[in-house]
Amino acid sequence: MPAPPLDLSIPHRLHVVGIGGPGMSAIAIALAEMGHDVSGSDLREHPVLERVRAAQARVHVGHDRNYVHGVDAVTASTAIPAHNIELDEARTTGVTVLRRAGMLASICARAKSLAVAGTHGKTTTTSMLMLMLAEARLRPSFIVGGDVTDVGTGAHWSGGEWLVVEADESDGTHLELPLYGTIITNIETDHLDHYGSFDGIVDSFDTYLAQIPGPKIVNADDDVTRRLGAKCGAITFGLGSDADVRAVDIEAADGSFTFEVERRSASGMDRLGAIHLPMRGIYNVRNALAATAMALEIGVEFADIAAALAKFGGVARRFDVRGVDGGATFVDDYAHLPTEIDSVLTGARESGDGWNRVIAVFQPNRFNRISEIWRDYADAFGQADLVVLTDIFASGTTPIPGITGKLIVNAVTEAHPGRRVIWLPSRSDLVSFVAGEARSGDVVISMGCGDIASFPSEVLDARRSA
């Protein structure tokens, strides 16, 4: 493992370009709470910037070359273009420029770091693990890709022994972090623009696991992670009988799960006790098992694990109930890949809430992603009674001729001719239709990682002003 690029045991002046993004704001907060002199800039104001300012970081709205004068290092996410004027000025004047991965690696080097990696479930699992350690009074620091409801932020630096961090594979960040232990939740096709092929993604995780000196926790229910874990003696979690840490006697009711946890020992499977998890979706049972397996490995008592999960409030934009109007429930979720969408809709269908209809509203994300995987959405909406699709949110990608949300409409309708699918590329038409369609007993789940996050509020406003 290479040495981190920046020694953060020494006070520095640091500047964060794109400080309003979820990943960069978390890094800025951690750096400021470490005691560094932190500034940052973003094109526009974001709600998260109030928390960044509360951590005593200076925030500029807009970019200016002068902002990097006198700083020791500048960091930016891969979403920031290389020709950004602040990055250009830093390079011109000899200031150290680090990708987000480099700065995160430097932070990880300051603690005993546990990372959560994988295609789905990283943010929730990271948050669960952090709260388990907190319940055990281990004072963990954390850097998460979304706000943890229980603590109202996505980052904190405590100065304690442990750091719990979300390891993003999208640009290879996971390979650069100096870590003690890791969880891999699952591995599926994504980020082909970086890896070129699914085999490239798998190889990166194989390399990643080989670098970890401490506990390695992998998903026994995922074929790829199970195979990689077997090569390095990893501990497995899952719902099947072959998992080292597994859930049994699972029951769902009123949007919650209860289950028993068993752990493999030399004499067989030991029953550790019961978990009450106030979350929907069987995927969250797996997330809880992953965090439980890691917490047990580092010595956290099961009673602390159960207590942390029983009061887990979730993560922003993960089955986030935004309101109820006229008996219809409106939910926002970050799901944007086919497996994620299927999991969220299945979770709603099987949650025990008794909803009559599940209405799925989906905003695809990134032209290059949709051009590669639009066919994979054909079976993603099987648990929805009504599917409403809108156009692609660019997220900084360049439009591609012929690549629109209509491709997903075609994929779904061709695979399932009887399914009711509505195509509404206009936002105003989308809001108007759903506001009029939703009725008592429905749950409307809007999904995507673009500006669809504000959709439930827009629909609720439209209904209440009608």
Model confidence, pTM: 0.80
CB atoms within 10 A of CB 201: 21
Average pLDDT per block of 10 residues along the chain, 466 residues long: 82 96 91 97 89 94 96 91 94 95 95 94 93 96 75 85 89 86 88 69 92 97 95 96 97 92 96 96 95 98 97 81 94 92 92 92 94 94 97 91 96 94 96 97 95 94 90
> Between β-strands 268-277 and 256-265, what pairing exists: parallel, antiparallel or unpaired?
antiparallel
Q: Residue 254 has what pLDDT?
A: 85
For the chain, what is the total number of helices (H) and then of strands (E)?
15, 21
Element (H, E) at 15: strand 13-17
Q: Residue 4 has what pLDDT?
A: 75
Is residue 99 within 8 A of residue 78, CB to CB? The reply is yes
Is residue 1 within 8 A of residue 174, CB to CB? The reply is no
Is residue 246 within 8 A of residue 240, CB to CB? The reply is yes
For 284-326, how does the pLDDT look when each residue is reduced to its tens digit (9 = 90+)? Answer: 999 999 999 999 999 999 999 999 999 998 777 788 899 999 9
CB atoms within 10 A of CB 206: 15
For 360-418, how does the pLDDT look when each residue is reduced to its tens digit (9 = 90+)? Answer: 999 999 998 899 899 999 999 999 999 999 999 998 789 999 999 999 999 999 999 99
Domains and CATH numbers, the chain: 13-99 (3.40.50.720), 111-310 (3.40.1190.10), 320-465 (3.90.190.20)
Q: Residue 153 has what pLDDT?
A: 78
Q: Residue 70 has what pLDDT?
A: 96
Q: Residue 350 has what pLDDT?
A: 87
Tell me which amino acid residue 176 is: E
Q: Residue 46 has what pLDDT?
A: 84
Q: Residue 119 has what pLDDT?
A: 87
Using the 8-state DSSP alphabet, how is residue 417 labeled?
Answer: T
Q: Residue 3 has what pLDDT?
A: 67
